[in-house]
Amino acid sequence: MNRPTTEAEYLAGLVPASAGRHGFSRRSMLRGSLLAAGVPALLAACGGNDTAGGGGGGGGGDVTLGSNFSDAVPVKAMNAMVADAQTKQGIKVKLNTVDHTTFQNNINNYLQGSPDDVFAWFAGYRMQFFAAQGLASDLTDVWSTIGANYTDAFKKASTGEDGKQYFVPTTYGPWAVFYRKSLWAEKGYTAPETLDEMVTLSKKMQTDGLVPLAFADKEGWPAMGTFDQLNMRINGYQFHVDLMAGKEAWTDQKVKTVFDTWKGLLPYHQTDSLGRTWQEAATGVVNKTSGMMVIGSFIGQQFEDADQDDIDFFNFPEVDSNIGADAVEAPIDGFMMSKRPRNEAGAKKLLEYFGSPDDGVVQTTNDPSGIAANTKSDQGHYTELQKKCAQFVASAKSISQFMDRDTRPDFASTVMIPELQKFISDPSDIDGLCTEIENQKKSIFTS
């Protein structure tokens, strides 16, 4: 190694040869300038909607529609809906599909930036929150057209805290206990009516070498479903609503009873649930290694077409006969209008279509995991399961959304997910758990 004669040579010697080679090559310069050129383009793309519908001017341009239905089957349904809306309403719709999780994670920035005229969202607290922040438009006049198509429960679920409607419901899917008909017929199981019967059934399944309750909570939200079911069976629908709205204390004995009951059921749940996704757990039901599963009707997406008729479900059993089992959890999906749509007339036309019976037919034909929210939608094409789901929800006295739709999103994701996971991995300290939840709830709900 020669002694460096200048400082530059010395410094050059410190740089590993492999790194030095790339120093300031033409290629990297080119890449840099491309990047520099790309940034403004990217920025322009973000605000692209400003110009996209500009051609038509006052109300004549495309209606932009932001959709979080990004999986194959829902995309098919959305495309069919858009095509149908364009012919029926005489509007042009530009569909922007964004990955489901990304859409939800960016919803704040999306709605404050330049959102699409109409966007897909959920009913309940999650809708009310954005309506209260002034990020969504009042749809009362759309409801005067479509209102007759819906039951009161759906109108209530579409109404903001100020009494105005902000949401057009399209489909929903109930949560219940799902199983395979053929497996149950073979083993001679019958649907339990009470929790005790469910425990007896679970024990029988265990002796038959089955996992009684398929269970997963890697994503954090599936366990919320079980909590909601138990809470509504033990304490009733109104308590669920008040607890989620932050009006009831989590340290209340009523909540502790829910956790206690759940603790008694945990031995029948599939173990190691925190490393498993709901799809993996559902596979156990599909493969007949698990007996049943508390999940939404979207479990149907995990079954082959040929097995669709083999799916069945029963209502989560009664725990307290005074409370009964007439509260059903059925999260509603639908659409909202952003605060300042560029093409308001077109957007309302599109929303009227979404609220029409035709939309329900198109959507549920293309994606049979959902049921049309619209009561006037023709149900002739429904599968056995869809028919049963529709009947099930229609007979319910009250309909809840889901924990993460009925409460503040920040509370659901930063408090309830970790705490429920903690409970599942170690259910021994229920008092401590409830105190932790309550303390965090206070700080979030009062902020």
DSSP 250-303: TTSHHHHHHHHHHHHHGGGBPSSGGG--HHHHHHHHHTTSEEEEEEEGGGGGGS
CB of 134 to another protein, least distance (A): 8
The answer to the question of residue 273 lying near another protein (CB under 8 A) is yes
Residue 190 found at the interface with another protein (CB under 8 A): no
Minimum CB–partner distance for residue 14 and another protein (Å):
5
Q: By CB under 8 A, is residue 287 in contact with another protein?
A: no
CB closer to another protein out of 144 and 271: 271
Q: Which of residues 12-31 bind another protein (CB under 8 A)?
A: 13-14, 16-19
What's the alpha-carbon Rg for the chain, to the nearest Å? 26
The residue within the footprint of another protein, chosen from 79, 366, 379, 440 (CB under 8 A), is: 440
Residue 251 binds to another protein (criterion: CB under 8 A): no
Q: Is the Cβ of residue 112 or residue 144 nearer to another protein in the bound state?
A: 112
For residue 231, the minimal CB distance to another protein (Å) is 22
Task: Report the residue number, 384 or 410, with the smaller CB distance to another protein.
Answer: 410
Among 108, 144, 391, 395, binds another protein (CB under 8 A): 108
- When the beta carbons of 195 and 210 are compared against another protein, the nearer one is 210
Q: Select the span of 37-45, 48-56, 103-111, 231-239 touching another protein (CB under 8 A).
A: 103-111
Size of the site for another protein (CB under 8 A): 41
Crossing angle of the two packed helices 72-89 and 344-354, in degrees rounded to 10: 120
Under a CB-based contact definition with an 8 Å cutoff, are residues 377 and 361 in contact? Answer: yes
Determine the residue type at 58. Answer: G
Q: What is the spatial distance between Cα 378 and Cα 216, in angstroms, rounded to a whole number? A: 35
Q: Which stretch binds another protein (CB under 8 A): 74-82, 100-108, 250-258, 359-367?
A: 100-108
Binding residue for another protein, selected from 6, 51, 109, 428, defined by CB under 8 A? 109
Which residue, 99 or 410, has its beta carbon nearer to another protein?
Answer: 410
Instruction: Confirm or reject binding of residue 275 to another protein (CB under 8 A).
Output: yes
Kindly state whether residue 77 participates in binding another protein, applying the rule CB under 8 A. Answer: no
Among 114, 261, 398, 421, binds another protein (CB under 8 A): 421
* Window of 140-148, 327-335, 361-369, 419-427 that interacts with another protein by CB under 8 A: 419-427
Give burial (CB, 10 Å; 0-12/13-18/19+) of 29: exposed
Q: What is the DSSP string of 386-409?
A: HHHHHHHHHT-SEEE--HHHHS-H
Query: Cβ of residue 244: shortest distance to another protein, in angstroms?
Result: 15
Which residue in 178, 201, 173 sits closest to 189, CA to CA? 201
Pattern 387-416, another protein, x by CB under 8 A: ----------------------xx--xx--
What is the distance between the alpha carbons of residues 139 and 147, in angstroms, rounded to a whole number?
Answer: 11
The yes or no reply on residue 40 touching another protein (CB under 8 A) is: no
436 contributes a contact to another protein by CB under 8 A: yes
Position 133 contacts another protein (CB under 8 A): yes
What distance in Å separates the CA atoms of residue 87 and residue 443, rounded to the nearest whole number?
A: 50
Q: Does 428 bind another protein (CB under 8 A)?
A: no
Provide the strand spans (E) within 77-192.
Answer: 93-97, 118-122, 168-172, 175-180
Residue 253 binding another protein, by CB under 8 A: no
Determine if 384 is a binding residue for another protein (CB under 8 A).
Answer: no
Considering the complex, state which of residue 125 and residue 237 has its C-beta at the smaller distance from another protein. 125
> Do 224 and 403 form a contact (C-beta atoms < 8 A)?
yes
Q: Residue length, the chain?
A: 447
Closest CA to 318 of 245, 242, 254, 261: 261
Place of tokens 């899917």: 173
Give the SS3 label for residue 433.
helix
Residue 306 contacts another protein per CB under 8 A: no
The helix (run of H) or strand (run of E) holding residue 107 is helix 107-112
- Rounded CA-CA distance 158/160 in Å is 7
Interface of this chain with another protein, residues 200 to 229, rule: CB under 8 A:
218, 220
Q: Write down the least CB distance from residue 185 to another protein, Å.
A: 26
In our burial notation (b when 16+ CB lie closer than 10 A, e otherwise), range 254-280 reads bbebbbebbeebeebbbeebbebebee
Within residues 134-173, the interface with another protein by CB under 8 A covers: 135
Nearest distance, CB of residue 133 and another protein, angstroms: 5
| C-alpha of 308 from chain center | 22
Q: How far apart are CA 369 and CA 74, in angstroms?
A: 9
Residues interacting with another protein, by CB under 8 A?
Answer: 1, 13-14, 16-19, 104-105, 107-109, 112, 126, 133, 135, 218, 220, 271-276, 280, 409-410, 413-414, 417-419, 421-422, 425, 436, 439-440, 443-444, 447
